[in-house]
Amino acid sequence: MNEVDLRDSSPEPFLLFPKDFLWGVSTAAHQVEGGNCNQWSDWELAGRIKSGDTCGKACDWWENAERDFDIARDLGLKGLRLSLEWSRIEPEEGRFDPAALQRYRQMLEALHERGIEPIVCLHHFTHPRWFEQRGAFLRADAPQLFERFTREVAKAVGDLCRFWVTFNEPNVYAACGYVLGEFPPGHKGQLFNALRVNRIQARAHVLAYRALHELVPDAKVGWAQHYVVFEPGQGMASRWVASLLDRLFNHTFFDLIESGRLGFPFGLLNGRNREARGCCDFAGLNVYSRFHVAFDIRYASTFFANVFVPSHVPQGDPGFDRPYGEAYPQAISEAVRRAAGLGKPIYIMENGVPDAEDQIRPWLIVSALRELHGLIAEGHDIRGYLHWTLTDNFEWNEGWKLRFGLVALDPETQHRTLRSSAKLFSEIVRGNGLAVSTMAPAPLSNTLP
């Protein structure tokens, strides 16, 4: 069934995906809702969005998510991942807002009415200001606060959702907020705090996992792990720094969930959390890029690693002051092989490329799906693919500069236009696969000369 099939109606070989494969898209509350008051709103007010853009109404989901849900239904999508904004639900510590929970009920109901399975994420980078001011995930009591929030959510909407993602990309959250200074709270070089944040998030994940299983009998709970390929340049030193980045970035949270402790040598620093071991029903993978790594004495703040994207590789639009990353569909295979060790079903929770003109997105989608089909044929238990994203949304520090949508958005007018990759993806979803000949030629580069 997962092999190349010859369909009755067509002599053309067809890459058919398993029955019930979850085809969909991913989104995040702050990026689509508009009008949020969280630590990212403060970051924006402090002038930290590189493009100078403001999030504004974003995709206007708080008022009218249903407009995009209609598009998702019309494209034939089966799943849509969204996050619930903690700062709306618990605007002051211990005070939960029934109106916000009601709006989320409405949104989840609207998805069901359109035949779309919701996948709910509880933390996609944003949280209430009061939580940030208390030290966020550096605080020892953060897991209990996160659990209390999770319980309120599960009580309010648990009957409307089976799939739960506790944390989106704990590794990106910790690396960007505590090592690179790119996300709030904007600290640089605080490796030990970054590891502490991940340990505390792993504890919060465990408490949320248990609470969800207690309150939502058929819940499937996991997290979404960002996975990057670090390609070493020539020489031992480059291999060493690339493998250090790989360990720290790709494996820290995985290790915490897989074995209940941080891998060597970081486990020596009291990285034990036995109860986290095996604590997930699926592994979610967010996969986008490859970076090249060369040892360079001048890059002390990144452990002497010069992390770069050669100009000749396929890539989408560049960010404000650097390339976004090499568009590297093969990264999916590396990520899946890493996640397979957990022995749980795997979902690709995000995959995409910033590409306003839709020059390489079709190639990326087709290549990623060919990669996935091959992995399934090898026996990997991959249950779904969610593209990032449905409609262009507010891309964190880059604001409106990077466009990841299958659907183009003019944030001023809220006018939406389907990109050709939306039509391509829709055909794939409806056919539950793609013809082998559906292969756009590999691009060299989208924007670079």
Q: Applying CB under 6 A, which residues contact ligand BGC? A: 28, 31, 168-169, 172, 226, 286, 350, 388, 395, 404
Nearest residue to the partner ligand BGC, using Cβ: 28
291 beta partners? 230
CA 85 to mean position of chain CA atoms: 15
Q: How far is the CB of 55 from ligand BGC (least distance, A)?
A: 12
Q: How far is the CB of 388 from ligand BGC (least distance, A)?
A: 5
Distance, first Cα to last Cα, the chain: 43
Q: What is the C-alpha to C-alpha distance for residues 338 and 178, in angstroms, rounded to an integer?
A: 25
Nearer to ligand BGC, 163 or 388 (CB): 388
Cβ count near 297 (within 10 Å): 8
Quick check: helix, strand or coil at residue 167?
strand
Q: How far is the CB of 395 from ligand BGC (least distance, A)?
A: 5
347 beta partners? 284, 384
Q: How far is the CB of 230 from ligand BGC (least distance, A)?
A: 16
Residues 6+ apart with CB under 8 A from 343: none
Nearer to ligand BGC, 85 or 152 (CB): 85
Q: How far is the CB of 210 from ligand BGC (least distance, A)?
A: 25
Nearer to ligand BGC, 136 or 376 (CB): 136
Q: How far is the CB of 404 from ligand BGC (least distance, A)?
A: 6
Vertex 178 angle, CA 174 and 183, to 5°: 80
Quick check: helix, strand or coil at residue 249?
helix
Nearer to ligand BGC, 289 or 438 (CB): 289
The reply to whether omega before 323 is within 30° of 0 (cis) is: no
Q: How far is the CB of 126 from ligand BGC (least distance, A)?
A: 10
Nearer to ligand BGC, 62 or 288 (CB): 288
Closest C-alpha among 92, 87, 89 to residue 103 = 89
Nearer to ligand BGC, 75 or 353 (CB): 353
SS (H, E, C) 251-317: HHHHHHHHHCECCCCHHHCCCECHHHCCCCCEEEEEEEEEEEEEECCCCHHHCCEEEECCCCCCECC
Helix (H) or strand (E) run with residue 331 in it = helix 331-340
Q: How far is the CB of 122 from ligand BGC (least distance, A)?
A: 14
Nearer to ligand BGC, 172 or 241 (CB): 172
Nearer to ligand BGC, 96 or 183 (CB): 183
